[in-house]
A and B are shown apart, each in its own frame.
Chain A
Amino acid sequence: MSVQIPPTERLRTDTIEINMGPHHPSTHGVFRMVLTLDGETVVDLEPRFGYLHRGIEKTAEERTYVQNVPFTDRLDYICGITNNWAYALALEKLAGIEVPERAEYIRVILGELTRVMNHMLAIGFLWNDLGATTFTPVVYAFRERERILDLIEMAAGSRMMPSYIRAGGVVADLPEEFMPRLQKLVPHLKRFIDEMDTMLTKNEIFRARAVGVGVLKAKDAINAGITGPVLRASGVKYDIRKADSYSIYDRFDFEVPVHTAGDVYARYLQRLAEARQSLRIIEQAMRDIPEGPVTSLPYKQLSRLKPPKGEAYGRIESPKGELGFYLVSDGSNKPYRFRIRSTSLLNLTLLREMCLGHKVADVVTILGSIDITLGDVDR
């Protein structure tokens, strides 16, 4: 027998609205979400961004082509190398510049190192969002990132803002001690990734928090233009390194890992698997790297570069997904239009759909599993 409560005596409940961010420890920067909560359940979510808008696209129209390279570092500041690379690729297409063999290998090595670094950090921050409050996994990820940054510093002179890859090749040849250090680092990173795997993957609390949370359907992901590990974790085998092979990726033997669950856990597994494949590529590149010049376009020519009238779109598989630069030239030494197809922004588009019906705690986890950088979202 159930007791019927008359409607007037029922507890009157209401939803509450919460501003998560821009000052929130788990929004990975100055990102803001307006959450409508029914108790702890998310009934509506509205992402608001633009707090880090620096007007890079417009500013770039007032700078020469080579002056724009440092701007690209500051997009996704975790992976400066791949940002440089995408811009250089677009410019090379626009001006028809050849790249020497050795420079391509250096690009691949540093680009894949960047991917490993990004994925380690993404996993670390995901754990932070899950509530490993004392930063333990992040600190270990940072420790290994430091070793990779040391190598990038050796090559480029700067850790986070390398501006190392320019149209026509790379800025300077690798120093002598680079290769021995890299040869030591790669097995070390392999061990570290295995260690992460054993420490984190089987954790029951992690599984309980991550499995089935924030499921992204393959169909929706394709429609929204989501790319990178987030797309592949949803079961779509799409990797620009294979689909629209650029640079020298057709020479390496590597696989594109895919997971089919599309949840936070699958995205985590996807990143681990991709980091392993990246190390495989680095090993092959280390073995095959030839001697020779590293740039076909000395700085003096590059700074006076005036591409012919036209337009070009260069895209690469950055650690977070497809990163593209669309350049329009009017024949002068400055781009007429400088458009960035930023990965993080497009990957964020389905955040609301992924979060609806989940709890507040899941919102930060899902955001962490998408792996955004606010510099890339707002530009």
Chain B
Amino acid sequence: MENIWTIENLWNAIGTVLRNWLAGFLPAWLVTLIMDLLVIVVLLAIGIVAVLVLSFMERKVAARAGDRYGPNRWGPYGLLQPFADAIKMLIKEDIIPHVADRFSFNLAPVIVTVGAVMTYAVLPFGRDMVAANLNIGILYFAAVGSLSIIGLLTAGWGSRNKYALISAFRAVAQLITYEVPVGLCIICVVMLAGSLSTQDIVLAQQERGWFFLLMPGIFILYFLAASAEMIRCPFDLLEADSEIIAGHFIEYSGMKFALFFLAEYIHLFAGSAMMVTLFFGGWLGPWLPSWLWFLIKTFVVIFVFMWIRNTFPRIRIDQVLKIGWKVMVPAGLVGLAITGFVDKLIADKLIAGVVLFICNIGLIIGVSYLMGRAQRRKEMAAEGAALR
């Protein structure tokens, strides 16, 4: 019998031992039930721990970007700060505005959080480490991920606050717009990998090379569309602090606010993890165990998102929609056509990869040239406008 206790296999080994022990004195159906519930609990725990880490990381990155120290009072380097935040959230008064629609007001945080947590089911945390290896994993991710739109709309409507209402209709417009390019990019990846399962996509990258090298254009498109999906800067219009204050969760306090907060960071983690899966080879990597590689890559992507948030201003709602429909959807369609033709017409995988790379670079140059030209024209027209 081979040794199952390797670091690579650590978590699965614990699972196997537990299952064998339970099978010793329980019927088979109960063992399955308990093990499934355990996986769910573990996933939830991962979600909450990730949020604790991310909220600390967000504050530290923001502080360092702004030449500040950030939280450094409680615990070494302020590491216990997230717990202080969590306790504060828990013991705060829970306020429901008396004009609010109580049912939808209370329901909204639940929908948002559940939708976010459910995405964890298909994340491939490591080799053979996925809670549900669905053969439609990506489709499931896209579908469940957009559940939160309903929650945001409910929150905006239920609060009966005008800022929240604006945020709600921004949510619907923006998230529906960006579903389309995200979908198109995912289809490109799926065409290359030949499967909708997240594990198979990772394995396909072992064979063909990481997809962000093969398709840099599609990757950039996915990156932008995904940051719009995750409501990250520069597409964080739903919670635009300087315009509509906090948007849909303006009226929430205490634990309900914490749930929105939780959902936001769970989305961030899941979105970054999915980006790693689709474009950065998932858990692939030398020397270190696969789950550690997965976490490292995910946190690098998350750091890039935070970096962008601390550097860029926000785009306006009409510009968001304009870029979505006029630039990203057509670019996504072109990318889809390129990927399809190259992948099917060129049999040799290496040559196909090179051609795909060149076509993608062309796509990037073309799109940025066209966008730049439109902007320069606008600027030329603006010159001297005050004197006319």
Contacts and interface: CB of A to CB of B under 8 A. Distances in A.
Interface of A: 16-18, 24-26, 37, 39-40, 127-136, 139-140, 143, 203-209, 211-212, 215-218, 221, 233-235, 260-263, 265-266, 359-362, 364
A205 B313 contact: yes
Contact of A133 (B233, B378, B379, B383): B233
Contacts of A221: 386
Contacts of B378: 211-212
Contacts of B237: 361
Interface in B57-108: 62, 65-68
A140 B66 contact: yes
Contacts of B207: none
B67 A215 contact: no
B317 A40 contact: yes
A166 B130 CA distance: 74
26 contacts: A130-B242, A130-B314, A131-B233, A131-B242, A132-B311, A132-B312, A132-B314, A134-B310, A135-B66, A136-B65, A204-B372, A205-B312, A207-B379, A209-B315, A211-B375, A217-B387, A234-B386, A235-B387, A261-B385, A262-B386, A263-B382, A263-B386, A359-B316, A361-B314, A362-B316, A364-B242
Given A133-B236, A134-B62, A215-B386, A209 B68 contact: no
A264 B240 CA distance: 19
A17 B72 CA distance: 43
Contacts of A361: 237, 240, 243, 314, 316-317
A263 B162 contact: no
Contact of A261 (B65, B166, B386): B386
A204 to B, nearest CB: 7
A221 B318 CA distance: 28
A166 to B, nearest CB: 36
Given A133-B236, A133-B241, A203 B312 contact: yes
Contact of B313 (A24, A132, A143): A132
A140 B386 contact: no
Contacts of A132: 310-314
A283 to B, nearest CB: 27
Given A16-B162, A207-B375, A212-B381, A133 B386 contact: no
A215 B385 contact: yes
B239 to A, nearest CB: 9
A216 B386 contact: yes
B315 to A, nearest CB: 6
B126 interface: no
A134 B66 contact: yes
A134 B317 contact: no
B315 A261 contact: no
A257 to B, nearest CB: 14
B108 to A, nearest CB: 21
A216 B382 CA distance: 11
B47 interface: no
Pairs of residues from A and B, 9 with the lowest C-beta to C-beta distance, nearest first: A131-B314, A262-B386, A130-B313, A139-B66, A234-B386, A134-B62, A26-B242, A260-B384, A212-B382
Contacts of B372: 204
Interface of B: 62, 65-68, 162-163, 165-166, 169-170, 233-234, 236-237, 240-245, 309-319, 372, 375, 378-379, 381-388
Contact of B66 (A17, A136, A208, A262): A136
Most chain-B Cβ atoms within 10 A of its Cβ — which of A40, A135, A204?
A40
A212 B312 contact: no
A143 B315 contact: no
B65 A25 contact: no
A26 B313 contact: no
Contacts of A233: 386
Given A40-B166, A136-B66, A211-B379, A262 B385 contact: yes
Contact of B385 (A17, A26, A207, A212): A212
B236 A360 contact: no
Given A26-B243, A207-B379, A260 B315 contact: no
A207 B310 CA distance: 18
A270 B214 CA distance: 45
A127 B382 CA distance: 20
B162 A261 contact: no
A25 B241 contact: yes
A155 to B, nearest CB: 26
Contacts of A17: 162
A130 B169 CA distance: 20
A203 B233 CA distance: 14
A209 to B, nearest CB: 6
Given A212-B378, A233-B386, 10 more contacts: A16-B165, A131-B236, A131-B314, A133-B233, A133-B240, A135-B66, A136-B66, A140-B66, A261-B383, A359-B318
Nearest to A133: B241
B210 to A, nearest CB: 28
